[in-house]
Amino acid sequence: MQRTLWGMIATVALALTAPAQASDAAAQKAELRKMCDEALAALYKAKPDAKAEVRKAAGYGCFSSFGVSFFVGGAGGRGLVHDNATKKTTFMNMGQASGGLDFGVKEYREILVFKDKATLAKFIDKGWEFGGQGTATATAQGKGVGVEGTEVSSSPIKVYPMTRTGLEVGISAGARKYWKDKELN
């Protein structure tokens, strides 16, 4: 069962992200850095106190994803994790599978703030996050309302989810996996 779940996550992640990615590794890295800069700017505009929080943290991650759900859902995306102390950036992939009373389609970004060095290192090396979520979102082209709650099993990680476009309502349980992008690192 677990092997099937992770196989589905990997398939969804690759299928949803492959066509949108540039063919050149340098271009892909530049695209991910630009996405992260835009996501951080949006976060700082919405929550000005987050700028100091990100600066003081051990590091941060930015991910962009697209997902579909109708009882069973999946999402895939890419992003990066930046270590504030070493200034090293690690490029990563993300896949998610969920099930429950969850219906919709959405494109979203999330910023992860790592409060300590050990959690940051563990996330980069192991990349796991498990959780459940409740969502009520309605946005179009970055305009609308989004209320999201994500429970992260690694409590030293603060998550800022930001829905860009989509419509989703529901409650679900799911599993998420982040892993290093072998082609970009």
Model's pTM, two decimal places? 0.71
Kindly write down the DSSP assignment for every residue of 67-116, as one continuous string. EEEEEEEEEEEEEEEEETTT--EEEEEEEEEEEEEEEEEEEEEEEEEE-S
Tens digit of pLDDT at every position of the chain (185 positions): 445 544 444 454 454 444 444 469 999 999 999 999 999 999 999 999 999 999 999 999 999 987 565 556 677 889 999 999 999 999 999 887 766 655 556 577 889 999 999 999 999 998 876 555 544 444 444 444 343 434 344 468 888 888 754 444 455 566 778 899 999 99
pLDDT number for residue 95: 84
- C-alpha 140: how far from its chain's center? 19
